[in-house]
Chains A and B, each alone.
Chain A
Amino acid sequence: MGIPNYAVHLDNPAMQGFYEGLAAGELRISIDPESGNWLWYPPEVIPGRPDAVVGWKKASHAGAAYSFTTIIRSLLPGDHSAEVPFTVVLFEPDDAPGVRVPGVLVEADGVEPACGMRLEFVALPVGDHHIAGFRPAG
């Protein structure tokens, strides 16, 4: 299985917290600055409060796959044919139900991906940045 390599584009600096977390080996999720509740993905505008900025909080590194797909033909701009196949999972941290973090399934040779499979977060270095990776738990 391959690993996708595509540059991170952050139009909104408020989204940087996720990548600061990855660089520190943590899965950080955006929160509403008033209530402290998870607010993911970080919206461009917090509903009704355009001047507010999201905060960031470490989420559980243990969780489950909400869904998944194995990419056989990458549709990313540019030629990424050497990076396929790879499996993307939508990961739900145990302490953040309903929050779904897309990441790459790793260390899973011989494992059939499935909804509900238990996973553990790992920060994956790719080029000059990190991406979210998830490996089978246990």
Chain B
Amino acid sequence: MKVAITGVGETAFLRKGAQPLLHMVAEAGLKAIADAGLTPADIDGFIGNRNVPASDDVGYALGVKERLFSACTDVAGGAAPAGQALLLAEMAIRAGLAKHVLVFYGIQSTRPGGVYSYHAREPQKAAFEMPVGYFGQPAYFAAMANRYAHDHGLSEEELASVSITYRRWAELTPSAQRREPMDLEGYRRSPMISTPLRAADCCLTTDGAGAYIVSAVERARDMPHPVVEVAAVSMAMNNWPHGIVFTQKPNIYEVPGAESARRAYEQAQVSPDDIDLAQVYDGFSISAIVQTEMLGLCERGEGARFYHRGDAAPGGRKPVNTSGGHMSGGYVPGINLLIEGVRQLRGGEGARQVPNARLCAVAGLGGNSHSTTILARA
């Protein structure tokens, strides 16, 4: 039995919002339910994540009647929960445990303690990294970028082209958080955080939430939108604990994306050449470069030049992050990328619509885990 994503919903993406996390998750959930042509009473499966309110609270806030199936994903941070949740939803539907599963996620980047406070709880980071000032994602990913540059070459213009590409997509996306045009000079005006990464190379600080509905393809055919089938979803992990993963991996910029992509392409029986567009977890420009390569959109070591050539930009041969990604669209780790993939395959996204989009790959990175999802318009 194949499953489809039958409803999607998001809140506004704000630099600082006024609503608590549960409120935002409920708003996104209700939008996804309405988008699927359903009511809260039709939702019988719930999948959240350890970083958001549990389905006990979300179900009540949505006004649902019964929860036949609920689960909580445990993968940290980023987009990998999108893949992990999708796997669970697929299993629940195939097992007959639920008919329509709501997957929800949200983030309050502006909550007290700051967006990087969780790093300080890692004993190795507190012991060996914080005393020398090596702290926070931009520092870790900056060291990755310098090592990548040593191994493959990476000019300032090539690095800049990643965030400039995503900003061009955001300009075409009404809901994107940062829509003002940015060229190379604008990139150079962006404050340097940790060399070579500027603020423009980093994901946004966002308060927001997203949600989607998973249903059997057979049911999806009778629902409001064109069917967007989950052709494959695959996870891979490198088994390095979070306190170690940013410094001690044999190659610090490698993530398990090549393996998750290989499995997903095999499962979907397609190749990278077949992909019409992709959504790539862009916590930082360097992590987007590496995952773009791992998806097979270009050769290893050529990711930055892929962006610099314009291949991922509007009108390019392999559009990437078509709503601005996490660096310009909004940072609701992973889930807003998956939602954009669904919207593109449905069609009708106006100026940013990728013509004849049939297959979309979604790459998600979270801590030491990675997911690749292949969405297909049935």
Residues of A within 8 A of B (CB): 4, 6-12, 15, 18, 40-44, 66-77, 80, 83, 86, 88, 90, 98-104, 114-116, 126, 129, 131-132
Contact = CB atoms under 8 A, between A and B. Distances in A.
A75 B136 contact: yes
A131 B146 contact: no
B195 A77 contact: no
Nearest to B149: A115
Nearest to B250: A98
Contacts of A116: 150
Contact of B123 (A15, A40, A88): A15
Contacts of B106: none
A75 B114 CA distance: 10
A100 B127 contact: no
A71 B127 contact: no
A2 to B, nearest CB: 9
Interface residues of B, number: 39
Nearest to B253: A67
A69 B248 contact: no
Interface in B123-145: 123-124, 126-136, 138-139, 142-144
Contacts of B96: none
> Interface centre among A10, A43, A86, A90, by most B CB within 10 Å?
A90
B143 A69 contact: yes
Contacts of B123: 10-12, 15, 44
A40 B139 CA distance: 20
B195 A69 contact: yes
Contacts of A6: 130-131, 133
Interface string B186-200: 000001111111000
18 contacts: A9-B127, A10-B123, A15-B124, A40-B248, A69-B194, A69-B197, A72-B192, A72-B195, A73-B138, A75-B135, A76-B135, A83-B133, A88-B143, A101-B128, A102-B132, A102-B247, A104-B132, A132-B132
Contact of A18 (B128, B147, B191, B243): B128
Contacts of A74: 133, 135
B133 A67 contact: no
B252 A131 contact: no
Nearest to A99: B248
A75 B131 contact: no
B241 interface: yes
A66 B248 CA distance: 10
Nearest to A87: B195
B61 interface: no
Contacts of A15: 123-124, 127-128
B147 A73 contact: no
Nearest to A72: B192
B175 to A, nearest CB: 28
B244 to A, nearest CB: 6
B116 interface: yes
> Interface centre among B116, B129, B143, by most A CB within 10 Å?
B143
B248 A80 contact: no
Nearest to B192: A72
Contacts of B138: 73, 75
B275 to A, nearest CB: 31
B198 to A, nearest CB: 9
A88 B131 CA distance: 11
B193 A88 contact: no
Given A72-B192, A116-B150, A129 B142 contact: no
Contact of A88 (B139, B241, B244, B250): B139
B71 interface: no
Contact of A68 (B116, B130, B146): B146
Contacts of B195: 69-70, 72
A103 B247 CA distance: 12
Nearest to A16: B127
A11 B120 CA distance: 11
B194 A71 contact: yes
A71 B139 contact: yes
> Interface centre among A10, A100, A114, by most B CB within 10 Å?
A100
B346 to A, nearest CB: 39
Interface string B245-256: 001101010000
